[in-house]
C-alpha cells in the first residue's frame, strides 16, 4: 500500500506531467475506480475537509490549486475536460467529502456543512443588494457582482470580490478584514468604510476610502496605505498604480443611489456600465482606445441605455446602432 505522502507525490507528478508510465497507471486506476484501489488510504479530518471545500469553491475555469498538509508548498496547474473532472472527483473522494457508488458521487458532509462551505452572495443585471455579514459589517453589492466570504467569518474575515461593493467594516483589532480581487490585490482593514470596484472585464481595480485607513497589497508587495478621501487605481496590464487625493467620495459611491459619475468615460467603462445595468453587449468598429468623453459626465438610473450612449457619442465623436435586441455597436 502506498503511503499517503508517497501517493500525494505521485498525484503531483501526474498533474505536472512528469510521472513514469507505471506511476501514471497507478493514478489513472485510482481515478477510474473513484479514488479507491487499495493502494492508498488518504484521510482528512473535518477541518481539513472544510478547508479543502473552501479552496475548491474558489477554483474557476479548471484552474486547480493543491497544497500539502503543511500548506507550505503549492502546485498550480491548468486542467480541462475529463481530466479536470477526474482530478476533482478523486480529490473529493480522497478527502472524504464524497463517496463513489455505482458511478454516483454522494456527499458525506451534512447539508449544513455544505452550506457553510459555500457562502456566496451575488447580484444580477441592474440589481443592488445591501446585507450584513456575521461580524456586523455592512456591505452594499453593485449590479452583476459576486462576493464570497469565509465560512467562519467572525474568526476569519476574508472575502473574495468580483465586481463592486461598498464596505462598512465593524472594528475588530484581533481579526483584520481582508478583501481579495482577481488581480491579486488584497485590501486589509480593521474598521473603516471604503469602495472597491473590480469587475473581471475591467482594465483596472479602483479602491476609494470614505473613512478610516486601508492597506493595499499585491502578493508580498505593499502598494500603499490609504486614508480618508484617497483612492488607488491599479492598472492590470501594466501592473502599475496611481494614488489620488481629495477624491469626491460621494461621486465614487453614487452608484448606491443609482448615479454614475465619470471624470472621463472610456469605452471599456461604458461597456461595463451597459452590461451590468441594462444587459447590453457593446462592441465597436472603431479604435476603442480613442473612444472617451474627455470631460466629466454623470448619469442616473432614470436614463435609458440609448440616452447614455447618445451623451457618450456626442463627446467621443461616434454613432451607435442596434445589431440585436441586446447588442449595440459603435461606428
pLDDT score for 42: 46
Distant-in-sequence, close-in-space partners of 73: CB < 8 Å, separation ≥ 6: 67
Distance, in Å, from the CA atom of 54 to the CA atom of 246, rounded to the nearest integer, reads: 39
pLDDT score for 210: 96
CA angle 71, 221, 56 (to 5 degrees): 35
144: which 3 cell numbers? Answer: 452583476
CA 271 to chain CA centroid, nearest Å: 19
* Average pLDDT rounded to a whole number, residues 128-156: 92
Q: Tell me, yes or no, whether 227 and 164 share the same domain.
A: yes
Residue 275 pLDDT exceeds 60: yes
| Residue finishing a domain among 64, 98, 116 | 116
186, HSE (Cβ side, Cα atoms, 13 Å): 12
Distant-in-sequence, close-in-space partners of 90: CB < 8 Å, separation ≥ 6: 30, 31, 34, 35
Confidence band of 309 (pLDDT split at 50, 70, 90): very high
Residue 317's domain spans which residues?
258-330
CB 147 within 8 A of CB 130: no
List the CATH number of the domain containing 159. Answer: 2.60.120.1440
Q: What is the pLDDT of residues 209-245, one digit of tens each?
A: 999 999 999 988 999 999 999 999 999 999 999 999 9
Confidence band of 296 (pLDDT split at 50, 70, 90): very high
CA dihedral 122, 127, 132, 133 (to 10 degrees): 20
Identify the weakest region by mean pLDDT among 16-20, 52-56, 254-258, 262-266: 52-56
Q: Tell me, yes or no, whether 11 and 84 share the same domain.
A: yes
What is the number of domains present in the chain? 3
Q: Tell me, yes or no, whether 130 and 62 share the same domain.
A: no
* φ, ψ of residue 229 in degrees (nearest 5): 65, 20
List the CATH number of the domain containing 296. Answer: 3.55.50.30
Amino acid at each position: 500500500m502506498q503511503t499517503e505522502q508517497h501517493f500525494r507525490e505521485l498525484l503531483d507528478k501526474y498533474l505536472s506531467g512528469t510521472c513514469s508510465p507505471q506511476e501514471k497507471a497507478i493514478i489513472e486506476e485510482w481515478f477510474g475506480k473513484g479514488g479507491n484501489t487499495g493502494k492508498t488510504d488518504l484521510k482528512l479530518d473535518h477541518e481539513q475537509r472544510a478547508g479543502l471545500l473552501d479552496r475548491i469553491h474558489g477554483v474557476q475555469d479548471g484552474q486547480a490549486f493543491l497544497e500539502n498538509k503543511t500548506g507550505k508548498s503549492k502546485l498550480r496547474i491548468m486542467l480541462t475536460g475529463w481530466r479536470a473532472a477526474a482530478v476533482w472527483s478523486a480529490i473529493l473522494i480522497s478527502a472524504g467529502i464524497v463517496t463513489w457508488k455505482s458511478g454516483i458521487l454522494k456527499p458525506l458532509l451534512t447539508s449544513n456543512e455544505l452550506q457553510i462551505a459555500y457562502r456566496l452572495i451575488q447580484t444580477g443585471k441592474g440589481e443592488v443588494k445591501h446585507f450584513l455579514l456575521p461580524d456586523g459589517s455592512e456591505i452594499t453589492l453593485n449590479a452583476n457582482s459576486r462576493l464570497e466570504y469565509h465560512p467562519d467569518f467572525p474568526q476569519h474575515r476574508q472575502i473574495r470580490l468580483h465586481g463592486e461593493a461598498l464596505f462598512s467594516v465593524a472594528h475588530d483589532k484581533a481579526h483584520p478584514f481582508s478583501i481579495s480581487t482577481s488581480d491579486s490585490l488584497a485590501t486589509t482593514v480593521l474598521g473603516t468604510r471604503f469602495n472597491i470596484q473590480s469587475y473581471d472585464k475591467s482594465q483596472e481595480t479602483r479602491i476609494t476610502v470614505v473613512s478610516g485607513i486601508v492597506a493595499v497589497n499585491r502578493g508580498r508587495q505593499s502598494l500603499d496605505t490609504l486614508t480618508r478621501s484617497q483612492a488607488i487605481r491599479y492598472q492590470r496590464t501594466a501592473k502599475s498604480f496611481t494614488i489620488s487625493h481629495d477624491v469626491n467620495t460621494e461621486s465614487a459611491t453614487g452608484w448606491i443611489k443609482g448615479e454614475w459619475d465619470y471624470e472621463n468615460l472610456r469605452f471599456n467603462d461604458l461597456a461595463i456600465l451597459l452590461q451590468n445595468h441594462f444587459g447590453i453587449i457593446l462592441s465597436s468598429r472603431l479604435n476603442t482606445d480613442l473612444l472617451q468623453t474627455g470631460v466629466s459626465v454623470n448619469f442616473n438610473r432614470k436614463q435609458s441605455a440609448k440616452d447614455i450612449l447618445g451623451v457618450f457619442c456626442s463627446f467621443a465623436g461616434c454613432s451607435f446602432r442596434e445589431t440585436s435586441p441586446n447588442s449595440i455597436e459603435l461606428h
